[in-house]
Amino acid sequence: MNIQNRTEQSRRNFLRELALGSSLLLLSAPWLKAFASGEKESAEKNNTVSIAVIGTGSRGMQLLSYLLRIQQSANIRIIALCDNYQPNLEQAFGLCQKSDVSPKTYADYREMLANEKPDGVIIATPLTEHAFIAVDCMQAGIHTFCEKAMARTCDDVKLMYDAHRETGKVLQIGHQRMFNPIYLEGMKRIQEGAIGQIGQMRAYWHRNNNWRRPLPDNNPALERQVNWRLYKDLSVGVLTELMTHQLQVGMWVLDKVPESVVGTASQVFWKDGRTIPDNASLIYSFDNGVQFVYDSMTSNRKYGLEEQILGSEGTIEFETNRIFSESIPPAPGIRQLIHSIERGVFEHIPIGGASWVPETAVKYDGTKLMADDFYEDSQFQLEAFAGFIRQGSIPDRMIREAYYTSIWTLLGETAIDEGRKVFLPEQYRIS
């Protein structure tokens, strides 16, 4: 057994054990049933799941490579690829051929739906195209995985959710952290009360790059198609591309939906014709008084990204896989003794003392949540998608959380644009 197979097996065992062994965890992550229902799944695993990929740009290619990697273990067959940009389509087809897979290729997803009948479809197109493609796929009877955020407008998000309810087809949104063992373990600890009562959640995502992708052949006609993330009518920039992942974590932690949001954003550094802001700050408030405080920027990356869950007895930092206790374990006796001798010697030298000591962060490494710091959660979510297709359903909480994450991400934009505190409009409330 090679290392990859061993890792694969231990990860699957881990998820299965977690799901079977802890009702607490199933409560916080019911989607784990996709991994846990071993008997049912193994009985049906002989049924090959056919998948089509719509959108073979950078994210689509990543997802395709994961699909190719798990096609044997998850019994998946990639039957079709679709992209309206021919070079991307050819590149994706080339990737498949390297794995001896020859899917059919299409430039129009409607043509693909007319000719193919995949069990599931993966949508990784620009944000504004998610809704109508996803709705058409579900109405054609195809289970759908769609990249986050769900759509560019709240109406489109609702449309997708309604199509899922009406057709009964799976609609899974690409919030891969839901399948990450570090997050699952962290959620379990939170449920067990390891960090006490949560007072606040802080999250940030800082980058230092222009987020601009090179245009093929320097063709300016492709600018909006390639750099759609930079244009406000096509994307909400850092909100829909970055924050939405972290807001989902915040909702998962509390198992609640925010009550209101306030925010501000501006263009500080990248003034190159883009119409989205390059930094943003938002505060989401929940009905128990907890806030989710968020900021993002693209001209400094010192602090990178993190989701910090601040409790009365501890803190969890998911991205760095750590849990910290508020009561720091004391240093060993001999070290304390040497330190106090040292302090006794030097503090008797009269050099004047500070009248105030700054309350800087406590320097303490905490402990790891999981043994490994990195898991291929994007791959896990596709394995789960195959499982959901076989089950023919997806846990309700999972789609509700994704739905409200997208809605509240877009309401964050409204708060910024209108400079006011925004509440959930009734028409977007789901039962």
Partner 1 sequence: MKIIEINIFRQLRLLLYIFIFFNLLNVAGILIFRTSWSELYSQLGFVVLLTLICWLFFLFVKIVYRFIRKRNEPRISI
Closest alpha carbon to 273 in 227, 327, 307, 313? 227
The residue (of 58 and 336) whose beta carbon lies closer to partner 1 is: 336
* Cα–Cα distance measured from residue 163 to residue 186, given in angstroms and rounded to the nearest whole number: 33
Does the protein bind partner 1 through residue 289 (CB under 8 A)? Answer: no
Quote the least distance from Cβ 337 to partner 1, whole Å. Answer: 4
The residue (of 328 and 337) whose beta carbon lies closer to partner 1 is: 337
Residue 370, CA atoms < 13 Å, CB-side half-sphere: 23
Does the protein bind partner 1 through residue 336 (CB under 8 A)? Answer: yes
CB atoms near residue 425 (< 10 Å)? 11
Among 333, 344, 352, 419, binds partner 1 (CB under 8 A): 333
Residue spans of alpha helices (H) in 22-72: 23-28, 33-36, 38-44, 58-70
- Report how far apart, in Å, the C-alpha atoms of 412 and of each of 29, 284, 407 are: 26, 8, 9
Return the SS3 of 361: coil
Among 335, 420, 421, 429, binds partner 1 (CB under 8 A): 335
Among 1, 3, 221, 334, binds partner 1 (CB under 8 A): 334
Return the SS3 of 22: coil
Among 332, 350, 352, 419, binds partner 1 (CB under 8 A): 332
Does the protein bind partner 1 through residue 114 (CB under 8 A)? Answer: no
Q: Which stretch binds partner 1 (CB under 8 A): 71-79, 251-259, 266-274, 330-338?
A: 330-338
**Helix (H) and strand (E) counts in the chain:** 16, 15
Quote the least distance from Cβ 330 to partner 1, whole Å. Answer: 6
Does the protein bind partner 1 through residue 338 (CB under 8 A)? Answer: yes
List, in sequence order, every beta strand (DSSP E) within 305-403. Answer: 305-311, 314-317, 322-325, 367-368
Return the SS3 of 416: helix
* CB-count burial class (<10 Å; 0-12, 13-18, 19+) for 113: buried
Return the SS3 of 322: strand
Among 330, 344, 350, 358, binds partner 1 (CB under 8 A): 330
Quote the least distance from Cβ 334 to partner 1, whole Å. Answer: 4
Q: Which of residues 49-88 bind partner 1 (CB under 8 A)?
A: none
Q: Which stretch binds partner 1 (CB under 8 A): 70-78, 92-100, 141-149, 329-337?
A: 329-337
Quote the least distance from Cβ 426 to partner 1, whole Å. Answer: 58
Asked whether the beta carbons of 376 and 182 are under 8 A apart, the reply is no
CB atoms near residue 69 (< 10 Å)? 17
The residue (of 94 and 330) whose beta carbon lies closer to partner 1 is: 330
Quote the least distance from Cβ 325 to partner 1, whole Å. Answer: 17
The residue (of 335 and 429) whose beta carbon lies closer to partner 1 is: 335
The residue (of 94 and 329) whose beta carbon lies closer to partner 1 is: 329
Q: Which stretch binds partner 1 (CB under 8 A): 1-9, 92-100, 331-339, 405-413?
A: 331-339
The residue (of 333 and 350) whose beta carbon lies closer to partner 1 is: 333
Asked whether the beta carbons of 280 and 267 are under 8 A apart, the reply is no
Does the protein bind partner 1 through residue 337 (CB under 8 A)? Answer: yes
Return the SS3 of 105: strand
Does the protein bind partner 1 through residue 350 (CB under 8 A)? Answer: no
DSSP state of 178: G
Return the SS3 of 187: helix
* Cα–Cα distance measured from residue 103 to residue 93, given in angstroms and rounded to the nearest whole number: 7
The residue (of 214 and 333) whose beta carbon lies closer to partner 1 is: 333
Quote the least distance from Cβ 331 to partner 1, whole Å. Answer: 8
The residue (of 94 and 333) whose beta carbon lies closer to partner 1 is: 333
The residue (of 364 and 423) whose beta carbon lies closer to partner 1 is: 364
**Footprint of partner 1 (CB under 8 A):** 330, 332-338
